Amino acid sequence: EDKVVQSPLSLVVHEGDTVTLNCSYEVTNFRSLLWYKQEKKAPTFLFMLTSSGIEKKSGRLSSILDKKELFSILNITATQTGDSAVYLCAGSPQGAQKLVFGQGTRLTINP
């Protein structure tokens, strides 16, 4: 059965810190790994990763995929209180439009 595991489940840091969120996956016929940010309701799309070793960046956020070790990390530098959210990681298999989600990491940024 396909599985995605995120760690830590919860993280509290101070504004300005750098955080690294982890995601390991076991997805049959893996195609891509996606990261989402969920604040109140709808998860908002952050990154989609399909190739190993190629970092994707968007402002203070970056992510990379390791297809050999079956994991991905999401980095957030110079954190702000607005980064407080649940960060979700999801794996997607080939030939199927479905996402297998991890439990999420609840990130809290204290001022």
- Please give the structure tokens belonging to residue 26: 């076991």
Whether 87 contacts 23, CB under 8 Å: no
Q: How far is the CB of 80 from another protein (least distance, A)?
A: 23
**Footprint on this chain of another protein (rule: CB under 8 A):** 31-32, 34, 36, 41-45, 48, 88, 90, 92, 95-104
Nearer to another protein, 45 or 77 (CB): 45
Q: Where are the alpha helices (DSSP H) in 28-107?
A: none
Q: How far is the CB of 59 from another protein (least distance, A)?
A: 18
Nearer to another protein, 43 or 79 (CB): 43
Please report where in the chains the tokens 């940010």 appear, as a residue. 37
Q: How far is the CB of 107 from another protein (least distance, A)?
A: 16
- Please give the structure tokens belonging to residue 5: 């595991």
Please report where in the chains the tokens 């954190």 appear, as a residue. 79
- Please give the structure tokens belonging to residue 22: 């982890």
Nearer to another protein, 2 or 17 (CB): 2
